[in-house]
Each structure stands twice: as C-alpha cells, then as structure tokens.
C-alpha cells in the first residue's frame, strides 16, 4: 500500500530543489570565528564521529559541555581530554537513547536544572540493515533518531522559553528523501512491510523534520530557535551495528567517496553561534546552505498527526500526568 498522499507529494516535487541539493553537496560550510566562552552546549552522542569533533570544536572556542553518551568509559576519556586540553568543563550523563526510561530521565533532569542551555545538539544516530526492536518494542532507528530527540525537546520547551534565548540543532540528513512518498502512519514501526535500511532511515529523518515544524510554532517569538542540518557526505561510524558484509562495503566503497567529518563540526558551530542565525528557525540546512526539504517533510497535517502519535509512543502523556 502506497502512502495515501502519493499524488499530493508527486505534484509538489520540483527538480530545482534536487539540483540545489546536488550543488550544495559540493560546498564547504560557512565559518564562524566568534568565541563561545561561558556558554553551555548539550550534545548527544559525543564520544565519536561528528559528535566528538563538534564537542572539540565548541570546547576550543571556550564553551562548557554536557554530553549525553552510552559509554561510561568513553565519556570519562572524553571528559579528561576536553578539560585537559581546552580548560573548560565537560560533564556528561549516561543514557541509551534507544530506551524510553533513559530518554525520559535525561529530559526530566535537563528540564529541572537551573543552568542555561545555550545550544542543544541532537547528534546521536543509528543505521540498520535489519529491523531491530528496542526493549520497549519500538523500531530502533525511529526511536533513536526521532522519538529520543522529540521527548527531550518536549521536556525542555518551557525551560528554554523561560531563558529567552537558545538554539536547538537536529543532525538530520538528506537521507530523509529516501522516504520519497512520506510516512506510513499505519506502520511507523515497520511491522507490516519488508524492512529497508534506507527507507526506515528516511522515514525516521522525515519524522524529525516534521516534529521541527511543530516545535518551531511552540517557540515562536520566544527567542528559541530549532533547525535541522544535513552534516554533509562525511565519514562516520554510523552502521557499525551491522554485519561484516555491510562493514566491508562501507569501508571499501562508501567511505572512499566521503569527506572529513570536521566540516560537519564547523557547520554545527556556525549554526549554533553565528549572529546570522539569530532569527532563523524551522529550517533545513545542507551544512550551512539552506535547502527546501522533500515535500513529505513539509506536510503540516502529517506533522500534527505524528505529534500526537509521538506523544503516545514516547509515553509523554503518562509521564507529564505523573509530574
């Protein structure tokens, strides 16, 4: 069964947007040289890849860090490295973002803190070639990419609005275009269809972008902005959960065509710090070039429907009633 909105999206696609994506994939990010001293940046998945380099970039510019990672050992090593090299504070929280209890714990803790969060970067991610269920019975890619960031953002809405200023950046992907005909709202967990790594990834990234549309409305006029960015075609450790065949293909074929993830860190710093981004919200960037996402990622009707489903899947209705 195709998405019921197949023809609606089909009519909305424009070749100019595809050409813009191809052109932007060749560009270098804009650079911001302003320092970020005495500011706090929260980053998920900061012990490797894009998250690690982004943590180092912000620390090198004077920012303190609060990292949300899975590994205690790697977090300790990151803390020692950052604090020893850059003379800033690097704290961390241990959480598995595929587990609802861990995500709720992080969201609640961040929302109840008395310190200011200047930039929040949702970077943690996963790519799977075979479907996996989390301990909560959710499809893992959808949980890690969409629901975890959705839940944390939801908890932080009032805190960030009360600050008068903050920036949220979601590391999304041009891969949202793999969900070319939109989300299957009757099968978000991939229980009724043959699983596809690319399509499940595209669906989760589309869900991210749809949630940003609603959060942008909630933050309107508050001084809080929320944007998404494609981190460029860069080498990362995403997909390390997959088998030997995928690992060989990634190393010998995919990675050879990719750029250094340092450009992603530069882009994330620009989006988080540059004065040019002060009033920009609800947008999608390829590194630092603003782009038009695929039509399914701009569908407000689906965004509202997904919002309600995400509240239920994320157990936010139950949690907020308890508080």
State the number of CA atoms in the 13 A half-sphere of 185 facing the CB: 16
Looking at residue 68, what is its pLDDT? 98
Yes or no: say if 292 and 84 are a contact pair by the CB < 8 Å rule: no
Looking at residue 246, what is its pLDDT? 34
Looking at residue 18, what is its pLDDT? 87
For the annotated catalytic residues, the residue numbers are 201
Distance CA 296, CA 274 (A): 29
Start-to-end C-alpha separation, the chain? 41
Looking at residue 321, what is its pLDDT? 43
Residues linked to residue 253 through DSSP beta bridges, in sequence order: none
Distance CA 4, CA 60 (A): 49
Looking at residue 182, what is its pLDDT? 95
Going from the first residue of the chain to its last (323 residues), give the mean pLDDT of each consecutive group of 10, the final group possibly shorter. 80 91 90 98 96 97 98 98 98 98 98 96 94 97 98 98 96 94 96 94 97 98 97 57 40 47 94 97 97 97 98 84 44
Question: Which two structure tokens, joined as six digits, stand for 106?
Answer: 């992080």
Helix axes 49-60, 262-273, angle to 10 degrees: 50
Looking at residue 234, what is its pLDDT? 52
Looking at residue 181, what is its pLDDT? 94
Question: What is the value of pTM for the model shown?
Answer: 0.91
Looking at residue 65, what is its pLDDT? 98
Looking at residue 43, what is its pLDDT? 98
Give CATH superfamily name and number for 6-315: NAD(P)-binding Rossmann-like Domain (3.40.50.720)
Angle at 217 between CA 145 and CA 67, to 5 degrees: 40
Domain boundaries, the chain: 6-315
């Amino acid at each position: 069964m195709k998405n019921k909105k197949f023809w609606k999206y089909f009519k909305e696609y424009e070749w100019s947007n595809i050409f813009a994506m191809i052109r932007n994939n060749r560009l270098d990010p804009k650079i911001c040289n302003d320092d970020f001293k005495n500011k706090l940046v929260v980053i998920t998945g900061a012990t490797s890849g894009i998250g690690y380099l982004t943590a180092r970039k912000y620390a090198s510019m004077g920012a303190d860090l609060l990292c949300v990672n899975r590994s205690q050992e790697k977090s300790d090593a990151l803390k020692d490295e950052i604090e020893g090299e850059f003379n800033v504070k690097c704290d961390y929280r241990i959480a598995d973002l595929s587990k609802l209890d861990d995500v709720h714990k992080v969201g609640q803790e961040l929302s109840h803190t008395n310190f200011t969060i200047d930039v929040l970067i949702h970077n943690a991610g996963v790519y799977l070639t075979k479907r996996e269920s989390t301990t909560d019975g959710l499809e893992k890619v959808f949980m890690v990419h969409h629901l975890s960031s959705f839940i944390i953002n939801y908890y932080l809405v009032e805190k960030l609005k009360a600050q008068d200023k903050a920036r949220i950046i979601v590391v999304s992907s041009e891969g949202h275009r793999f969900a070319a005909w939109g989300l299957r709202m009757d099968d978000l967990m991939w229980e009724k269809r043959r699983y596809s790594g690319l399509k499940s990834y595209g669906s989760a990234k589309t869900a991210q972008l749809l949630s940003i549309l609603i959060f942008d409305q909630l933050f309107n006029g508050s001084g809080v902005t929320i944007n998404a960015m494609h981190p460029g075609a860069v080498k990362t450790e995403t997909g390390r959960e997959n088998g030997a065949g995928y690992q060989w293909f990634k190393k010998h074929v995919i990675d050879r065509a990719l750029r250094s993830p340092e450009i992603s860190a530069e882009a994330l710093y620009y989006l988080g710090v540059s004065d040019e981004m002060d009033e920009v919200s609800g947008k999608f960037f390829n590194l630092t070039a603003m782009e038009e996402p695929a039509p399914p990622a701009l569908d407000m009707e689906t965004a509202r429907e997904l919002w309600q489903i995400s509240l239920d899947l994320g157990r936010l209705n139950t949690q907020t009633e308890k508080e």
